[in-house]
Amino acid sequence: MRAAVAEFRSAGGTLRTREAAERGIHYSTLYGMRDAGFLEQLSRGVYRLTELQAPSKYDVVAVAERVPDAVLCLVSALDLHEIGTQIPSAVNIAVGKKDWHPQFDYPPVRVYRMSEKALTAGVEEHSIDGTTVRAFSPAKTVADCFKFRNKIGLDVALEALREALRSRKATRDEIMKYAEVDRVSKVVRPYLEAME
């Protein structure tokens, strides 16, 4: 079991079942560690050493471990960038139009499908407790909020725009650049002009 704990530590404390097996940790050892309280199950097939401090964004880490190609978007990305007052009720992720739709028992996840161009524009990588999380930049997130305003609410998009500009986390030009990618520049422009 010491070797298994060492493998988890070297991986930053979190491993998927398949990754643990690739590192030589047998399934029975993994489940035994879980049952003995050495590991906690973050989500189906994702385990974390209990000796480590709990992840600051537990749900985001669990999703990023299970779907590493997904991109954190909309309210979840606003929360990550500390823009606005919205609290995500689910982890919002973007995937390609034809990508596999991930199923989660826990945490709650909302999946948004995007074109290849929209999915690859403005992607940043952040490290949360040793896990790499892909998320859209503040400017791209604001543009996405306008693109999906009918699903998340125009008030959320307007607050995101106002707060991103006020906190200087995004410029008007950056927001318009991504509004062009999302094909919502005609929607965003009047609100930007009204905030001058």
The reported pLDDT for the residue numbered 196 is 74
How many alpha carbons lie under 13 Å from residue 125 in its C-beta half-sphere?
5
d(CA 158, CA 156): 6
CATH code 1.10.10 for 2-49: yes
The reported pLDDT for the residue numbered 101 is 78
d(CA 48, CA 40): 5
The CA angle 160-58-64, to the nearest 5 degrees, is: 75
d(CA 64, CA 122): 18
The CA angle 67-72-73, to the nearest 5 degrees, is: 140
Q: What is the DSSP string of 20-87?
A: HHHTT--HHHHHHHHHTTSEEEEETTEEEETTSPPPTTHHHHHHHHH-TT-EE-HHHHHHHTT-SS--
The reported pLDDT for the residue numbered 50 is 86
Q: Per-residue pLDDT tens, the chain, 196 aa: give them.
A: 888 888 888 887 888 898 999 999 998 998 899 898 889 888 788 888 888 766 568 789 889 988 999 999 999 999 999 999 998 999 999 999 988 878 888 889 999 999 999 999 999 999 987 789 999 999 999 999 999 999 999 999 999 999 999 999 999 999 999 999 999 999 999 999 998 7
The reported pLDDT for the residue numbered 22 is 92
The reported pLDDT for the residue numbered 112 is 96
CA quadruple 117, 151, 69, 178: dihedral sign? positive
DSSP reduced 3-state for 127: strand
| Residue boundaries of the structural domains of the chain | 2-49, 58-194
Query: Hunting for tokens 């590991």 — which residue is that?
Result: 39
Residue 2 CB partners (closer than 8 Å, separation 6+): none
User: What pTM value is reported for the model?
Assistant: 0.75
Region of residue 13 (left: phi > 0; alpha: psi -120 to 50; beta: else): left
d(CA 183, CA 113): 15
The reported pLDDT for the residue numbered 145 is 97
The reported pLDDT for the residue numbered 2 is 86
The reported pLDDT for the residue numbered 54 is 63
CA nearest neighbour of 63 among 13, 103, 22: 103
